[in-house]
Structure 1
Amino acid sequence: MASFGFLGLGIMGKAMAINLVKAGFDVTVWNRNPEKCAELIALGAKHGDSPKEVAATCDITFAMVSDPAAALAICQGEDGVAAGIGHQRGYVDMSTVDAATSQEIGNAVTQAGGRFLEAPVSGTKKPAEDGTLVILAAGDQSLYQQAVPAFEVMGKMSPYLGEVGQGANMKLVVNMMMGGMLSIFSEGMSLGMKSGLEGEKILEVLSAGAMANPMFAIKGAMMLAEDYTTSFPLKHMQKDLRLAVELGDKLAHPMPTAAATNEAFKLARKEGYADEDIAALYKVMK
């Protein structure tokens, strides 16, 4: 059985790594704040002292960090993944980054003798805990095949999308759409309730028609309860929207709705809701 490393134990990474450990895999974990490793170690994981050490001792190392800067930081430098990978070991970056960052990380890994796969995920805290994420893989196909047993524990679907960059692009497209849907949903809920409609009735009507979807049901209930317990941090959605708009600029592709949505999320960050759930966008709409 392959040995797995896991770097980054935030909201998503911790849940994903726990599922690997509980499935019986040999897992070594690392986090910038080592205290976050304690729960995994109690469940049977090993602790690595650095990304370099984890990459040097595991067959495949997975990473799940917050943004492009963090993804580059754990790959580069004397204690980074690229310094330890070598010998055809595999590195799977599951962070949401832009295609250029993913390609830069992939080049560093392959030049060091390793194999690289990008595999950003679609899903938030609950799907991560339940092992029902959608994993968007692209890059080295032999590494993809080797990683499938782990993907099957962490997710319900893991399509192979081709060359490095296509997984990142797919994730940005998906999250751009999600952010846009949440923005108009927040506006609609706010408008309806300001006009005297009951929030529960709005959700009931939506759930019966063509716009019925799990996100509206889950986030709508959070809005009505004014409970913004973080499942997907608002600041991370704004980062994804920014990257999607940048991709549109690069391709000279018009993005009027995504650009407006990005500005709405930036306003929510300015109002102090960066670390709350994406549903907190509603607070700036109402």
Structure 2
Amino acid sequence: MGKKKIAFIGTGVMGSSIIKHLLHASYEVIVFTRTKEKAEALIGLGAKWAKTAGLAAAEADIVLTMVGYPSDVEEVYYSEDGIFNSAREGMTFIDMTTSSPALAKRIAADAERKGISSLDAPVSGGDVGAQNGTLSIMCGGKEQTFNEVLPILQVFGKQIVYQGEAGAGQHTKMCNQIAIATNMIGVCEALAYGKEAGLDAETVLESISSGAAGSWSLSNLAPRIIKEDFEPGFFVKHFLKDMNIALVEAEQMNLPLPGLQLAKEMYNELVEEGYGEKGTQVLYKQYERA
């Protein structure tokens, strides 16, 4: 029996690299994104183009979705041209968008009624992790489904963990984003302090990135900050969306998160100033003008 056909909805910074890994692993991949031009390079590598998400799903056994916002997820799954309208019993849906845990549970329940398996499987690792095939993938849904699709996830992921029932993957991603948000403040403040103290930033990094202060952001994004490279590995506008989701969930739990609230306010200022399509490391600009 040949490899399962995969439909991939969304060919952004992360999705494009994941699709390349799947093509390299000899999977047949049908792609859809709103703007075909953004998928031309992938089509040139062997991906097949579909005019709608539903048409992409109609040709596939497994559908991976990775779009921007919960509203985009709803459109991809539930619109007239969405994947549920093309669904067949026995298919598997995997939503890799960072989205609402409640929406993940809704998709799982609707999929089960149609005889479809589903996972919420958001990722972490940014553009570097996607390019290198070393993403961390957090999975919620039925464990049997997780085990069945694990070989596919291993094509582009390294740390792939089953977290529990539907929605658990999204909740875990919220934990991830909370840690990143407050850590990014620390990274930027450390660099700003070092600059004001007259230190060489790269030499400072040599010492602190391998010590107790070490983090992914310090190792991967601080060097970009030093080079004034604020291009996105992950868009600020999407990070702000994630922080809003986490704060809504935390409010429902009666859990105050003052660090996350501060980070959200700082990033929101940057979005208002036009930095929404820059990378999360652009937070440093808050300290350049301090």
1:64 aligns with 2:66: yes
- Identity, in percent, stands at 29
Q: Note the C-alpha offset of 1:197.
A: 3.0
Counterpart in the other structure of 1:264: 266
Alignment of 1:152-231 (within 5 A): 152-231=154-233
Q: Does 1:232 align with 2:226?
A: no
Report the Cα offset of residue 75 of structure 1.
0.5
C-alpha distance in 1 between matches for 2:84 and 2:112 = 8
Q: Aligned residue for 1:144?
A: 146
CA distance in 1, matches of 2:152, 2:22: 7
The 2-side partners of 1:188 and 1:127 are apart by: 24
Could you list the structure 1 runs, at least 4 aligned residues long, displaced by more than 6 angstroms after superposition: none
2:255 alignment partner, SS class: coil
Q: Structure 2 CA distance, aligned partners of 1:126 and 1:205?
A: 22
Residue in 2 that maps onto 1:96 = 98
Post-superposition offset of 1:256: 1.1
Aligned partners of 2:63 and 2:93 also within 8 Å: yes
* 1:228, distance to aligned residue in structure 2 (A): 1.0
- Distance in 1, matches of 2:109 and 2:250, equals 24
Aligned twin of 2:109? 107
User: Alpha carbon RMSD of aligned pairs, Å?
Assistant: 1.5
- AA aligned opposite 2:199: L
Aligned counterpart, 2:76: 74
- The answer to whether structure 1 residue 49 and structure 2 residue 40 are counterparts is no
* Counterpart Cα distance in 1 of 2:143 and 2:214: 36
Please give the alpha-carbon distance, in whole angstroms, between the structure 1 residues aligned to 2:225 and 2:40. Answer: 33
What's the secondary structure of 1:276's corresponding residue? Answer: coil
Q: Which runs of 5+ in 1 are unaligned?
A: none
TM-score, normalised relative to structure 2: 0.94
Distance 1:195 1:136 in 2: 40
2:210 & 2:49 partners in 1: Cα distance? Answer: 49
Match of 2:131 in 1: 129
- Residues in 2 aligned to 1:64 and 1:278: alpha-carbon distance in whole angstroms: 19
Structure 2: runs of 5+ lacking an equivalent? none
**In 1, are the aligned partners of 2:174 and 2:246 still within 8 Å (CA)?**
yes
SS in 2 for 1:158: strand
Classify the secondary structure of the residue corresponding to 2:161.
coil
Q: Secondary structure, in 3 states, of the residue corresponding to 1:103?
A: helix
Q: Distance in 2 between matches of 1:51 and 1:209?
A: 46
In the TM superposition, residue 208 of structure 1 has moved relative to its aligned partner by 4.2
Cα-to-partner distance string for 1:115-161 (whole Å, 9 max, x where unaligned): 21111001101110111001111113333222112101010121111
Opposite residue 187 of structure 1, the aligned amino acid is E
Contact 2:187 2:217 in 1 (8 A): no
Q: How does 1:264-283 map to 2 (within 5 A)?
A: 264-283=266-285
Structure-1 separation of matches of 2:210 and 2:73: 41
